[in-house]
């Protein structure tokens, strides 16, 4: 949770005081129980320094091709430049390919220029507009 809150955008929407809000644990249990969900973490010396969530989504378009959605990619600021993000993304892409997905998709906040360039280096094409409706 500290990772999700550790930048200017995330800090406005997470609750990291201990004990953690029970909603985090409930969400974790739901992700853990869902066979279409994969949560990856990068650890260094037992500390979680990176996260990524992968969701496999059956889809009728692209001739019934399955899609993979990548969410919640974060790397701790002091561990950047060590290719942890790249390692996690390459894992997610390989996992999606193994599952028979036809594409991997994600959205990145339009303000995160570095993130967009990072994904472009990995082959992602910024062909779409990502739209959000907060409920």
- 59 DSSP assignment: -
Please identify, using beta-carbon distances, which residue of 88 and 93 lies nearer to a copy of itself.
Answer: 93
Distance in Å, CB of 46 to a copy of itself, minimum? 20
Q: How many CB atoms are located within 10 Å of the residue 12 CB?
A: 8
Distance in Å, CB of 86 to a copy of itself, minimum? 13
| Distances, alpha carbon 93 to alpha carbons 43, 54, 86, in Å | 19, 9, 10
Distance in Å, CB of 107 to a copy of itself, minimum? 4
Distance in Å, CB of 24 to a copy of itself, minimum? 4
**In this structure, are residues 108 and 115 in contact, taking their beta carbons and an 8 Å threshold?**
yes
**In this structure, are residues 42 and 88 in contact, taking their beta carbons and an 8 Å threshold?**
yes
Is 81 in a helix, a strand, or coil?
coil
Please identify, using beta-carbon distances, which residue of 10 and 87 lies nearer to a copy of itself.
Answer: 10
Q: By the criterion CB under 8 A, which residues form the site for a copy of itself? A: 1, 4, 10, 13-15, 21, 23-28, 30-31, 34, 36-37, 39, 51, 53, 55, 57-67, 69, 71-72, 93, 96-97, 101-110, 116, 119-120, 122-135
Distance in Å, CB of 52 to a copy of itself, minimum? 11
Pairing of strands 47-57, 66-75: antiparallel
Please identify, using beta-carbon distances, which residue of 7 and 47 lies nearer to a copy of itself.
Answer: 7
Residue 133, Ramachandran bin (φ over 0: left; ψ between -120 and 50: alpha; else beta): beta
Please identify, using beta-carbon distances, which residue of 1 and 82 lies nearer to a copy of itself.
Answer: 1
């Amino acid at each position: 949770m500290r990772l999700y809150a550790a930048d200017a955008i995330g800090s406005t929407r997470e609750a990291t005081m201990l004990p953690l809000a029970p909603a985090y644990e409930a969400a974790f249990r739901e992700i853990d129980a869902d066979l279409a969900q994969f949560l990856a973490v990068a650890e260094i010396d037992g500390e979680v320094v990176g996260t990524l969530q992968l969701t496999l989504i059956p889809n009728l378009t692209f001739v019934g091709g399955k899609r993979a959605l990548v969410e919640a990619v974060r790397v701790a600021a002091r561990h950047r430049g060590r290719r942890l993000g790249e390692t996690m993304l390459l894992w997610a892409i390989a996992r999606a390919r193994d599952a028979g997905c036809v594409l991997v998709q994600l959205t990145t906040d339009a303000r995160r220029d570095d993130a967009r360039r990072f994904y472009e280096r990995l082959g992602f094409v910024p062909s779409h507009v990502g739209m959000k409706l907060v409920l």
